[in-house]
């Protein structure tokens, strides 16, 4: 008598498409999707068709010159393009029922971001916003520790980037136009909001060429500050964030941040949301838009300061 054997396997991998072909897409997004459990990189689309083909060949995926054809091959889209490009393409992806892993900032204006959120809710798709530090395991452990040791009275973030130096791979047109507030500012605002509470008001000052100083007033009474630029000398490049309060001082473990590891976590957590049907996450689209609202308020306040100078 022959006994039948049942072979069981795990869930079918979520098919990811990558939008973008630049340095960040090649060095972080593609390796992270490939490394993620439960995910498979199957398609690439970029504004530069030749670059998309080269990235796809190296990643074992297929390049699609037509964006709609690209969308037809995937379940979820991971974005690595400038925010104004991302927002329009993300709306098209949501209309096609695709789940989203977005870069920060979501868009360059809050109204566009809110339109994307409305579409995400209407189509009931999952959407996460990738803040490197918020998906880093060591930083998450630190978040748990500071939550247990609080309350905290305040904090300070110093995000000094050198992306606008001539040889930096992140020296791109949108960063030259919008500067540190919009590129490194989301990291600072997200981490300070996560530890001290949502931002309820702010003040801002500016220096040359893109230096921004923020003072953030958080719900619950804590106050924090942030120094932001993309024009720091290479020797000064680096990020720090420190909280202070009755328990003393506590520093975010910047040295433990690995962008590929963090994005791998983000990809895996998006797959969990897709399969479970859950849509809420600490770094979901509403959180990303709360960060964007702070940036937009700071931008308006900074323009006012410039008019008064």
Domain boundaries, the chain: 14-132+261-282, 137-256
pLDDT digits (tens, 9 = 90+) for 136-157: 999 999 999 999 999 999 999 9
How far is 139 from 253, CA to CA, in rounded Å?
6
Identify the pLDDT of residue 4. Answer: 47
Q: What's the chain's average pLDDT?
A: 94
User: What's the CATH number for 137-256?
Assistant: 3.30.360.10
Instruction: For residue 286, give the nearest of 215, 195, 204, 190 by alpha carbon.
Output: 190
pLDDT band at 281 (very low <50, low <70, confident <90, very high): very high
Residue 247 · residue 53 · CB < 8 Å: no
Q: Which CATH number fits domain 14-132+261-282: 3.30.9.10, 3.30.360.10, 3.40.50.720, 3.90.1150.10?
A: 3.40.50.720
CA atoms within 13 A on the CB side of 93: 31
Q: Strands 223-229, 211-218: parallel, antiparallel or unpaired by DSSP?
A: antiparallel
Residues 13-41, mean pLDDT to the nearest whole number = 97
Q: How confident is the model at residue 255 (pLDDT cuts 50, 70, 90)?
A: confident
Domain 14-132+261-282 matches domain 137-256 at the CATH topology level: no
Confidence of residue 10 (pLDDT cuts 50, 70, 90): low
The predicted-structure confidence for 80-100, as pLDDT tens digits, reads as follows 999 999 999 999 999 999 999
Q: What is the pLDDT of residue 303?
A: 80
- Extract the tokens encoding 164: 């606008």
- Banded model confidence at residue 305, pLDDT cuts 50, 70, 90: low
pLDDT the model gives residue 307:
45
- CA 215 to each of CA 154, 167, 188, 203, 226: distance values in angstroms, whole numbers, following the listed order: 11, 32, 12, 5, 7
Residue 154, CA distances (Å) to 84, 206, 215, 219, 293 in order = 33, 21, 11, 12, 21
User: Per-residue b/e over 94-127, b at no fewer than 16 CB within 10 Å?
Assistant: bebebbbbbbbbbbbbbebbbebbebbeeeebbb
| pTM for the structure as a whole | 0.93
Residue 64 has which token pair? 């699609």
Residue-level pLDDT at 44: 98
């Amino acid at each position: 008598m022959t006994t039948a054997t049942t072979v069981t396997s795990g869930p079918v991998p979520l098919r990811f498409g990558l939008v973008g072909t630049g340095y960040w897409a090649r060095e972080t997004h593609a390796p992270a999707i490939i490394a993620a459990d439960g995910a498979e990189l199957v398609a690439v689309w970029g504004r530069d068709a030749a670059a998309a083909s080269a990235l796809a060949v190296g990643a074992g995926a297929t390049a699609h010159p037509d964006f709609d054809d690209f969308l037809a091959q995937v379940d979820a889209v991971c974005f690595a393009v400038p925010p104004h490009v991302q927002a329009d393409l993300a709306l098209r992806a949501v209309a096609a029922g695709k789940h989203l892993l977005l870069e920060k900032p979501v868009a360059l204006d809050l109204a566009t971001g809110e339109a994307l959120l409305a579409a995400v809710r209407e189509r009931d798709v999952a959407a996460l916003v990738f803040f490197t530090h918020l998906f880093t395991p060591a930083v998450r452990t630190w978040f748990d520790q500071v939550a247990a040791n609080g309350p905290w009275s305040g904090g300070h973030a110093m995000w000094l980037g050198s992306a606008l130096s001539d040889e930096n791979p992140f020296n791109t047109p949108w960063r030259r136009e919008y500067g540190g507030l919009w590129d490194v500012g989301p990291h600072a605002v997200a981490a300070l909001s996560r530890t001290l509470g949502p931002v309820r008001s702010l003040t801002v000052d500016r220096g040359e060429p893109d230096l921004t100083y923020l003072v953030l007033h958080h719900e619950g009474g804590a106050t924090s500050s942030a120094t932001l630029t993309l024009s720091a000398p290479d020797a000064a490049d680096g990020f720090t964030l420190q909280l202070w309060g009755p328990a003393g001082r506590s520093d975010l473990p910047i040295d433990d941040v690995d962008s590929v590891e963090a994005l791998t976590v983000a990809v895996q957590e998006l797959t969990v949301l897709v399969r479970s049907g859950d849509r809420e996450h600490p770094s979901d689209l509403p959180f990303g838009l709360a960060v964007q609202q702070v940036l937009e308020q700071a931008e308006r306040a900074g323009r006012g300061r410039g008019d008064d100078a």
